[in-house]
Structure 1
Amino acid sequence: MDIQPQIKALAEKVASLKDQIGTEEATKNAFVLPFINLLGYDIFNPFEVVPEFTADLGLKKGEKVDYAIFQDGIPILIIECKHWREKLDVHGSQLFRYFHVTKTRFSLLTNGVQYRFFSDLEESNKMDEKAFFEFDILNLKESQIAEIAKFHKSNFDVDKIVDNASLLKYLKGIRNSIDQELSAPSPEFVKHFASQNYNGRITAQVLEQFTDLVKKAFSQMISEKVNDRLHSALNKENEKSTIDPLDEEEESKVVTTEEELEGFRIVQAILRRKLEKGRIIARDTQSYFGILLDDNNRKPLCRLRFNSSNKYIGVFDKDKKETKHLIDTLEDIYNFESHLLETAAFYEEENTGN
């Protein structure tokens, strides 16, 4: 499941709205629930996403964590949310208490901008003090999007994520150590390189001289590698635009908006009464945002036409003829509930007939 378009759209939404979000509850609704939704979990299904999940702590009853995501009746991820302006460092202990009274292997602490995933890698059923994976949605890297996708409902596998969490934890530690050595090389680190390049006795003066040299050498090496990568990428981009400039131009014109995604979620919510969620597929084009059954162009469920000043929803009859209707708000999509369900029922009857 490719979540890149949705998570980038959410990142844009966070950047544009955060200064208007004044409460923790607003942070949950505007930022955290859409994140849970893009992971494939139905935020309107109380058996899948449970708000205010009770996590009793010994004699202290009624303790609640903001959300718990369930799979086959078992909580697989508990989520504690804070207002987006709050620092997460002071809230880890609260989630730590909740963790050991649930059956989950994963927990998430977030303020809607920063996300920190925890597990029990060091001691069973006891949340680690340090997150094994964290990211800032306003400064996402491609590699981080790939890690986020592993928590998608269609990909979720406890054992695989736990194994991967251990690798991420060690990788993060090594990266931090390297970063620390590059910014302020330790005597041991400097001696390693000095001993390979200096024949005399390594005195305090020599060590001081090599400390500066080691910093400069790594700085130059990193700079050169970055420049080489940029040069290589630029050459590939030039080759691509020379070979197929029209395809590149066409692809760049398709922009999926948050409004289209919200409309898609409403259509999904309506059609879930007859169809499994995975069968309701979105396909964006330059002209309209299409919603198909089973990702089949011959089975259009509706089209959202939001690319002009007016908004339209296109619905289909049995002959697959589209009729466009003007709508004022996204809520107006609910007015076409019966038509959408009839269209879905017709396709299902076709399948049965065949």
Structure 2
Amino acid sequence: MDLEASMTDLQSKLREHREILETEEAAKTTLVLPFLRALGYDIFDPSEVKAEFTCDVGTKKGEKVDYALCVGGEVTILVECKPVTSELSIKHASQLFRYFAATSARVALLTNGVIYKFFTDSERANMMDEKPFFTFNLEIFRKSDIKHLSTFQRADFDLDRIVSQAGTLKLHSQVSAELRKEFSEPSEEFVRLFASRLHDGRLTEPVRQRFQAVIVQAISSLIREGINERLENAMSHGQDVTEPNQGGPLPDAIETTQVEIDGFNIVRAICSKFVAPDRVIMRDAKSYCAVLLDDNNRKPIARLHFNSSTARYLGVFTGKNEEERRVVTTPVDIYQHADAIAARVQELQEVKS
């Protein structure tokens, strides 16, 4: 099973058992250890995955970190686990801070089984950074997240490459976060920058508000134009255009939204209990996103009618291929219809192509 399929399967387990994963041990057994195994580490080999790793640091004697991952006999990654319900913060990483400087590890992982925060020493040598350079969310992830996560796989583990890229990845994440804020709600400084270039005269409040509104509209238009141009260029060269984290080609000028991606991931997680996750494919259309088994139009599992932000529907199917629309407010509401989706995908396995 590839890494993305493993993460999707683990995501399904999280959805199914989250309410009973109250302790740290439950998070370790159900989520963290399978997560490490998916990365290629032999969790049953104590020389490769050292549980309750102890390293005396200064006056602190007998302190333990949950796991130490070893590659080539050297400790490379320290792992500290918390319960699923814990909000991860830097105060939870005190042992990681101390152990980081006392071992050969250059990467530290703080996790509650759902969120996985990776740290290194990009700012000061042998001193763990206070902010992670990469965060993986098991509940919601994209194909780009899987790509970043793959660098930690044991088979391709390259510590120097990880550390050298950490600073850039961390800065990229911070810049992206600031840009998202500016794009959705431009700050006064951002508005003034453009107004100073395009407006002669005093920046009154009405002028500022006008520029702010136009900036948001212009950014949205540029993003849409960029997506359409990429699609047109790809198709003009005969390439198969696929939306990240999906399996089906997209028609020209159709934009798959994040809420549709989230909905698809949830449907796929439900289906993964009965079929391999890579058999569940999404095809986006103008009016809905179709979720298909084996990328076959004659095998629809569900439809996501998410184009409206105020009226969203999940389409489920009966044995006669008749669609029944059910109201959902957010993608998470799809779990309330898990039985119908499960029944449908099991039924489709009996249908001949």
State the AA in 1 paired with 2:207: V
Q: Describe the superposition over 1:249-291 as per-residue Cα deviations: whole angstroms up to 9, x where unpaired.
A: xxx9xx8769999xxxxxxxxxxxxxxxxxxxxxxxxxxxxxx
State the shift of 1:223 in Å.
5.4
Q: Helix, strand or coil for the counterpart of 2:166?
A: helix
State the AA in 2 paired with 1:4: E
Tell whether 2:200 aligns with 1:199: yes
Cα 1:135/1:52, change in 2 over 3 Å: same
Give the corresponding residue for 1:56.
Answer: 56
Give the corresponding residue for 2:75.
Answer: 75
Alignment check: 8 A CA contact 2:32 2:113 kept: yes
Q: Describe the superposition over 1:152-198 as per-residue Cα deviations: whole angstroms up to 9, x where unpaired.
A: 11110011111221221111111011022123322221122223332
Task: Give the stretch that moved more between structures: 80-89 or 221-230.
Answer: 221-230
Task: Give the stretch that moved more between structures: 205-214 or 46-55.
Answer: 205-214
State the shift of 1:40 in Å.
0.7
Give the corresponding residue for 1:132.
Answer: 133
Q: CA RMSD in A?
A: 3.1
Alignment check: 8 A CA contact 1:119 1:131 kept: yes
CA–CA distance in structure 1, aligned partners of residues 139 and 179 of structure 2? 24
CA–CA distance in structure 1, aligned partners of residues 63 and 25 of structure 2? 18
Q: Helix, strand or coil for the counterpart of 2:127?
A: coil
State the AA in 1 paired with 2:105: T
Give the corresponding residue for 1:166.
Answer: 167
CA–CA distance in structure 2, aligned partners of residues 105 and 125 of structure 1? 8
CA–CA distance in structure 2, aligned partners of residues 258 and 134 of structure 1? 29
Alignment check: 8 A CA contact 1:118 1:130 kept: yes
Q: Helix, strand or coil for the counterpart of 1:80?
A: strand
State the AA in 2 paired with 1:186: S
State the AA in 1 paired with 2:66: D
Alignment check: 8 A CA contact 2:27 2:83 kept: yes
State the shift of 1:102 in Å.
1.6
| TM-score, L = length of structure 2 | 0.63
State the shift of 1:5 in Å.
1.4
The answer to which structure, 1 or 2, has the higher relative contact order (CA under 8 A, 6+ apart) is 2
Cα 1:7/1:258, change in 2 over 3 Å: farther
Bigger Rg, structure 1 or 2? 1
Give the corresponding residue for 1:114.
Answer: 115
CA–CA distance in structure 1, aligned partners of residues 185 and 157 of structure 2? 40
State the shift of 1:111 in Å.
0.4
Alignment check: 8 A CA contact 1:114 1:134 kept: yes
Q: Describe the superposition over 1:121-165 as per-residue Cα deviations: whole angstroms up to 9, x where unpaired.
A: 000110001000002101011001011111111110011111221
Cα 1:23/1:52, change in 2 over 3 Å: same
Cα 1:94/1:184, change in 2 over 3 Å: farther
Give the corresponding residue for 1:47.
Answer: 47
Give the corresponding residue for 2:214.
Answer: 213
Alignment check: 8 A CA contact 2:12 2:272 kept: no
Cα 1:204/1:260, change in 2 over 3 Å: closer
Give the corresponding residue for 1:66.
Answer: 66
Instruction: Give the alignment of 1:242-281 within 5 angstroms.
Output: none
Task: Give the stretch that moved more between structures: 120-129 or 71-80.
Answer: 71-80
| TM-score, L = length of structure 1 | 0.63
Q: Helix, strand or coil for the counterpart of 1:195?
A: helix
Cα 1:152/1:233, change in 2 over 3 Å: closer
Cα 1:19/1:73, change in 2 over 3 Å: same
Which structure 1 residue ranges, 5 or more long, are not aligned?
240-251, 262-354
Alignment check: 8 A CA contact 1:2 1:149 kept: no
Which structure 2 residue ranges, 5 or more long, are not aligned?
233-240, 253-267, 278-353
Instruction: Give the alignment of 1:235-314 within 5 angstroms.
Output: 236-237=249-250
Q: Describe the superposition over 1:15-64 as per-residue Cα deviations: whole angstroms up to 9, x where unpaired.
A: 11111222110110000000011111111111000000013221110010
Give the corresponding residue for 1:92.
Answer: 93
Give the corresponding residue for 1:146.
Answer: 147
Q: Helix, strand or coil for the counterpart of 1:5?
A: helix
Q: Percent identity?
A: 42
Q: Describe the superposition over 1:306-339 as per-residue Cα deviations: whole angstroms up to 9, x where unpaired.
A: xxxxxxxxxxxxxxxxxxxxxxxxxxxxxxxxxx
CA–CA distance in structure 2, aligned partners of residues 259 and 219 of structure 1? 38
State the AA in 1 paired with 2:22: G
CA–CA distance in structure 2, aligned partners of residues 168 and 36 of structure 1? 22
Cα 1:45/1:87, change in 2 over 3 Å: same
Alignment check: 8 A CA contact 2:63 2:95 kept: no
Tell whether 2:220 aligns with 1:185: no
Q: Helix, strand or coil for the counterpart of 2:102?
A: coil
Cα 1:41/1:87, change in 2 over 3 Å: same
Give the corresponding residue for 1:36.
Answer: 36
Which of the two has greater helix per residue? Answer: 1
Alignment check: 8 A CA contact 1:118 1:128 kept: yes
CA–CA distance in structure 2, aligned partners of residues 151 and 233 of structure 1? 25
